Amino acid sequence: MRAPWLAYCLNPLLADVRTEDWAQETPLHLAASNGREGVVAQLLAFSPQSHHARDFDGRTALHLAAHGGHDKIVARLLAHQPALIDAVDFDNKTALYHAAAKGHEAMVVELLNLSPGLIDVKSTNTNTPLHVAASEGHAKVVAALLARRLSLAEVAGAAGRTPLFCAAREGRQEAVDLFPLTTKQVFCSSHLSRYSTRSVFIPL
C-alpha cells in the first residue's frame, strides 16, 4: 500500500509537501530517510519551512537522515537551517544520538564539530550517545566519543548503568576494550560477576 504513495512523495513535481502518511511522515521525511538528496533539495526550495515537520515520534527529517547515515542530506538540512542540529524527538534524542545508535562514526564526529554540547544530551531514559553506541557495539563511535571526553565513561544512564556496563551486558568485546582502566576496575568490583549476561573479558 505504501509503495505508490512513496513514489508520489519522492517526485518533487507531484508531492504536496504537507502530505503525511500514517506515521505522520512528510515527503521531506521520506526523501531524507531514503537518501534522496536531490529530492530533499527541491522540497526545501519549494517549501523552505518544511524542515520543521515532525513525524509520529517527533523526528525531523534531520533525525531520519542521521539515522540512515545520509551525510550529504544531513549537511544540506543543516545548511538550510543550522538550528536543526539541537532538535530532539519525543524521546529527547538528537540527530547525534541517532547517528551514534547506528554506528555512523564520520557523522558523529561532524555533528560534534558543529555542536559539541550534543555529547551530553540524554534521551528520556537518561542514556547518552555513548551508552547507545556501547550497547550496540559500535566501537569506532565509542572511540570517537571517548576521545572527546574520557569522563563520559563514568556517566550513569538508565537504571544507573554506565556505558561500560551496557557494552559488557551485551557482550560487545571490542567496545569494552576501549574503556579506561579505572572504569574497568570499578565495574569489575561492583558489577561483573552478578550482572554480565554474555561472555566478555575485562583486562585489568
Q: What is the reported pTM? A: 0.82
Distance of CA 183 to the CA centre of its chain: 24
Which residues make up the CATH 1.25.40.20 domain(s) of the chain?
1-90, 115-204
**Domain 1-90 listed as CATH 1.25.40.20:** yes
Task: Name the DSSP class of 92.
Answer: -
Give pLDDT tens digits along the chain (204 positions).
455 545 555 555 445 555 555 467 899 999 999 999 999 999 999 888 889 899 999 999 999 999 999 999 999 999 999 999 999 999 999 999 999 999 999 999 999 999 999 999 999 999 999 999 999 999 999 999 999 999 999 999 999 999 999 999 999 999 999 998 766 655 554 555 454 545 555 554
Q: Which of these CATH numbers, 3.40.50.2020, 3.20.19.10, 3.40.50.10300, 1.25.40.20, describes 115-204?
A: 1.25.40.20
Q: How far is CA 7 from CA 12, 37, 62, 91, in A?
A: 10, 15, 20, 29
Contact of 44 with 15, CB cutoff 8 Å: no
Q: What is the pLDDT of residue 119?
A: 98
Q: What is the pLDDT of residue 24?
A: 78
Q: Which helix (H) or strand (E) holds 67?
A: helix 61-68
Distance of CA 197 to the CA centre of its chain: 25
Contact of 35 with 11, CB cutoff 8 Å: no
The 10s digit of each residue's pLDDT in 121-145 is: 999 999 999 999 999 999 999 999 9
Task: Name the DSSP class of 72.
Answer: H
Q: What is the pLDDT of residue 197?
A: 47
Compute the residue count for the chain. 204
Q: What is the pLDDT of residue 200?
A: 56
